Amino acid sequence: METSIIFAGFGGQGVLFAGQLLAYAGMEEGRHVTWIPSYGPEMRGGTANCTVIISDEPIGAPVVARPDVAVVLNLPSYDKYEPLVKPGGLLVVNSSIVTAVSTRTDLEIVYVPANALAEEYGATKMMNVAAVGALLARRPLLPLTAVSQTLAAHLPASKQHLVEANLRVLQAGWQAAGEVIGER
């Protein structure tokens, strides 16, 4: 089975790291993966997105026009990717920032307060990990334990002191997805 995922938001929201986290976890689980980043020249505040494909079979092409899943962390990303998700797909929306409500009835939509969940554990910058947790709760592409191990192993050295907090945020996002599915 092959699943394509787009993570999108502003630079500084950890969009690229969220995609890398799934790609590395997929590799460590013996899956075929691709990770393609796209970002502007700004370090923070510009747009950023990445495409991740996780598959049981070799991946033919890393380009995705209509993803199976989109994780949108800000309103411009919501506006761009909400209409592109395949029917039957999943849209994970950071409801801490995105106030729009989708009218699509052919998607599974999870509104998760990613910023608020991350703030509970001390740093809004971990909101990307809350969104990954929500994604995995609704589409168990990889075991949560595998993603947790990968998170601990691949968090940059300067952020290693945040491993435990990130693991709690990952779990909180996973738990919240079951509570807020389709609700605003």
Any bridge partners for residue 49, and if so which?
8, 38
Under a CB-based contact definition with an 8 Å cutoff, are residues 84 and 155 in contact? no
Q: Which residue segment(s) compose the domain that 28 sits in?
A: 2-180
* CATH code of residue 23: 3.40.920.10
Q: Looking at residue 158, what is its pLDDT?
A: 86
Compute how many other C-beta atoms are within 10 angstroms of the C-beta atom of residue 55: 17
Compute how many other C-beta atoms are within 10 angstroms of the C-beta atom of residue 62: 13
CA distance 27 to 32: 6
Structural Rg of the chain based on CA atoms:
15
Give, in order, the Cα–Cα distances in Å from 121 to each of 14, 88, 124.
16, 33, 8
Nearest to 167 by CA among 137, 113, 138, 126: 126
Question: What's the token pair of residue 137?
Answer: 């709760």
Mean pLDDT by 10 residues, the chain (184 residues): 95 92 96 91 75 96 94 96 97 96 95 95 88 96 93 86 90 85 45
Q: Looking at residue 156, what is its pLDDT?
A: 81
Q: How many domains does the chain have?
A: 1
